[in-house]
């Protein structure tokens, strides 16, 4: 008899060596993916990422493990909605290893993010997604959509200005 793999999602402890290594490895795998830019993380970024996140009180990460192997990551940051006068959670990175996509890992990460956001009193969860990213279908199924205040003014665009 074959048992189904055990999927767990837990908050990462950046000071715990295994969690720190898994956060870096999964983010590096995501960075190498076309949806993450197609380039590996620089060595200096890998060297300081976990300690920088540990030092940021607004950061939290969730790790998804299948049979105790890290296969998914969500890096999130607390923000603040001035219109609601309440905290919000921004999903900055959501990554699932290619060989485990379609197995419920992303959905489990989103459910864990929502539970953590509610625990922290957040009024909403935000994320950005490339228009060509297949994960946008999962996000839509889980209730995410374009941000707009009034359909006549259009939907929000995510812009950037690089400084480095």
pLDDT of 3:
54
CA distance 35 to 118: 28
- Contact present, 53 and 37 (Cβ < 8 Å): no
CA distance 25 to 142: 26
pLDDT of 151:
86
Farthest CA pair distance, the chain: 58
Question: For residue 124, what are the contacts with CB-CB under 8 A and spacing of at least 6?
Answer: 81, 84, 88, 89, 117
Share of the chain above pLDDT 90, in %: 85
Q: What is the pLDDT of residues 66-81, one digit of tens each?
A: 999 999 999 999 999 9
Mean pLDDT of the chain: 94
Domains, the chain, with CATH or none: 7-153 (3.40.630.30)
Sign of CA dihedral 22, 23, 28, 31: positive
Confidence tier at 4 by pLDDT (50, 70, 90): low
pLDDT of 33:
94
- Number of alpha carbons in the 13 Å side-chain half-sphere of residue 119: 8
3-class SS of residue 68: coil
pLDDT of 2:
54
Q: What is the pLDDT of residues 74-112, one digit of tens each?
A: 999 999 999 999 999 999 999 999 999 999 999 999 999
Predicted model pTM? 0.93
């Amino acid at each position: 008899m074959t048992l189904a793999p055990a999927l767990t999602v837990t908050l990462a402890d950046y000071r715990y060596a295994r969690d720190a290594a898994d956060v870096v490895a999964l983010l590096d795998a995501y960075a190498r993916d076309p949806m993450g830019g197609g380039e590996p993380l620089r060595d200096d970024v890998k060297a300081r990422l976990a300690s920088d996140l540990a030092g940021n009180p607004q950061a939290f990460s969730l790790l998804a493990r299948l049979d105790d192997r890290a296969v998914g990551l969500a890096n999130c940051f607390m923000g603040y909605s001035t219109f609601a006068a309440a905290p919000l959670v921004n999903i900055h990175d959501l990554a699932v290893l290619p060989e485990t996509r379609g197995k419920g890992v992303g959905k489990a990460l989103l459910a864990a993010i929502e539970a953590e956001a509610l625990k922290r009193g957040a009024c909403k969860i935000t994320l950005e997604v490339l228009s060509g990213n297949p994960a946008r279908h999962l996000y839509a199924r889980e209730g995410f959509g374009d941000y707009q205040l009034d359909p006549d003014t259009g939907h929000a665009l995510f812009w950037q200005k690089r400084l480095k």
